Amino acid sequence: MPKTVISGFTHNFLGNAPVWYKQVILLFLIVNPLIVWLLGPATAGWFLVGEFIFTLAMALKCYPLLPGGLLAVEALLIGLATPEAVYHEVLINLPVILLLMFMVAGIYFMKELLLVTFTQILVGVRSKSALSLLFCAAAALLSAFLDALTVTAVIISVAVGFYSVYHKVASGKGYQHSGHNANSDEHVVELHREDLEEFRAFLRSLLMHGAIGTALGGVATMVGEPQNLLIAKVVGWNFAEFFQRMAPISLPVLGAGLFTCWCLEKLRWFGYGARLPKPVRQVLEDFADNEREKRTKADQAALWVQAIAAVVLVIGLAFHIAEVGLIGLLVIILITSFTGVTDEHQIGKAFQESLPFTSLLVVFFAVVAVIHEQHLFKPVIDFVLAQPEVHQPALFFVANGLLSMISDNVFVATVYISEIKQALDAGVISREHFQDLAVAINTGTNLPSVATPNGQAAFLFLLTSAIAPLVRLSYGRMVIMAFPYTVVLGSVGLLAVINFL
């Protein structure tokens, strides 16, 4: 424990982050003003971008909002950007902020319906290959219309629920037993240990297939990922136009991704292929039947309301009756009104998942303001635009893909779409070519970024969730299991960009 006030400040700074990480962030904060003074604001801007990407890459050490926010505030104080420039970026991207605030919260109230759906898939399909395909396809379909983070959260909830149920039984308890610690195998009966390990491998593969599914579906529509809506707003596409523009790349990639899923399960490569042991299946089926019998008429009515709200959501998005975030707010109002959720604190829980990332997005915009004010990416964009026009979409796809593997795809997309919009406004590129480059940027940030948990918020969410330690899903294991998908999605996406744009 700290013994002085100074040591208390040191202890409190960035909380439980490693000491070396705290020292690195402090070093960044100290040297940035010196770089501005010695080397100029443009060089300092490049250092800031690198430092911010570092905080994104080290997201498991500390949530990037805190160190990234400190860097952004310092950038304003030393004159790399102005508060007015940051506000301008936020104002332009207000639809994206509304999406994160209200759509994620709206889908939170549909979790029961989604849980029932995935539960029925899990206990109703006996073929592991077919089950994996269904999980991947269902996650892709839902992510195309809903939010990838929420879809991932639902899959995690199903996995945690079923793991806890069997872990209780394996520990010699009934699945209604309360107060059980699923993190400890101390009381697991020796007879069940092998089945428990196989069950962990089974859940790991399903979780990864589901996470990949959110990327496959998320690339296809303007609401699939936060950066999609940002790109759609800059280019001026509605829901249908966005889907049509992405289809030449997103549909071949979807087919290739599902085929890869099936092959991995059949060949049992890269940690896939584990089957559900018969004793575990019996326990889960009994549990699902018990939950179904406990469902009251009020619960059934609530599921019907959620299903109707889902239809309203899809229709609202397809016909673009309002901004996406406002449709999310409509979903919140409909479901809460007709399911009896009237307490302020119950409603507040829905916003817990979305607001931290929304805050981080505003920090993104502050860094983007620095990039714009200092014209940092202009040489890079000028170099790409100086290449033959036919090669430019592929170059943007590769550049965005590689950067998204180590950084966050929302940040990368924000930077690049803003830069090519400036090129369009300056008359450097045509409107049609601008749209082709926007497709390349969107697909580049969505597809190769599955390589690491840093690239996509849904993957990072899975890695930091309660299920990851239970099924022994580490950072390294996620990278290994994502590798075949990275190769297939990146290669097929690049070939589609080359041939169809």
| Chain mean position to CA 73 | 25
Position 200, amino acid: R
Percent helix, strand and coil across the chain, each rounded to 5? 80, 0, 20
**Contact criterion met (CB below 8 Å) for 467 and 154:** no
Instruction: Report how far residue 452's alpha carbon sits from residue 63's, in angstroms, rounded to the nearest whole number.
Output: 16
- Residue 284: name the closest of 157, 116, 138, 161 by CA: 161
Instruction: Report how far residue 369's alpha carbon sits from residue 375's, in angstroms, rounded to the nearest whole number.
Output: 10
Instruction: Report how far residue 207's alpha carbon sits from residue 135's, in angstroms, rounded to the nearest whole number.
Output: 9
| Chain mean position to CA 53 | 17
Q: Look at residue 409 in the predicted model and tell me its pLDDT.
A: 78
- Residue 472: name the closest of 271, 324, 226, 171 by CA: 271
Query: For tokens 């101390």, what's the residue?
Result: 186
Ordered mean pLDDT values, 10 residues apiece, the chain (501 residues): 75 87 93 92 90 80 89 93 90 79 80 79 85 90 78 80 80 64 65 82 92 92 83 88 94 96 93 88 82 85 91 80 84 91 84 80 86 80 84 91 77 84 88 93 91 78 80 86 95 94 77
Query: For tokens 């490569």, what's the residue?
Result: 269
Q: Look at residue 177 in the predicted model and tell me its pLDDT.
A: 58
Instruction: Report how far residue 234's alpha carbon sits from residue 240's, in angstroms, rounded to the nearest whole number.
Output: 16
Would you call 391 helix, strand, or coil by DSSP? helix
Q: Look at residue 439 in the predicted model and tell me its pLDDT.
A: 95
**Contact criterion met (CB below 8 Å) for 374 and 42:** yes
Q: Look at residue 272 in the predicted model and tell me its pLDDT.
A: 93
Q: Look at residue 184 in the predicted model and tell me its pLDDT.
A: 64
Residues near 358 by beta carbon (within 8 Å), at least 6 away in sequence: 97, 100, 101
Chain segment 233-288, per-residue pLDDT in tens: 889 898 889 999 999 999 999 999 999 999 999 999 998 999 988 888 888 888 78
Residues near 293 by beta carbon (within 8 Å), at least 6 away in sequence: none
H helix intervals, 146-189: 148-170
Q: Residue 355's CB: how many other CB atoms inside 10 A? A: 13
**Contact criterion met (CB below 8 Å) for 229 and 99:** yes
**Contact criterion met (CB below 8 Å) for 151 and 143:** yes
Instruction: Report how far residue 437's alpha carbon sits from residue 429's, in angstroms, rounded to the nearest whole number.
Output: 10
- Residue 358: name the closest of 95, 11, 43 by CA: 95
Q: Look at residue 182 in the predicted model and tell me its pLDDT.
A: 62
Measured in residues, the chain has a length of 501
Q: Look at residue 181 in the predicted model and tell me its pLDDT.
A: 64
| 199 token code pair | 């069950």
Query: For tokens 């209604």, what's the residue?
Result: 176
Residues near 235 by beta carbon (within 8 Å), at least 6 away in sequence: 417, 434, 435, 438
H helix intervals, 171-238: 190-218, 226-235
| Chain mean position to CA 222 | 14
Q: Look at residue 94 in the predicted model and tell me its pLDDT.
A: 83
Residues near 443 by beta carbon (within 8 Å), at least 6 away in sequence: 219, 246, 249, 250, 253, 397, 493, 496, 497
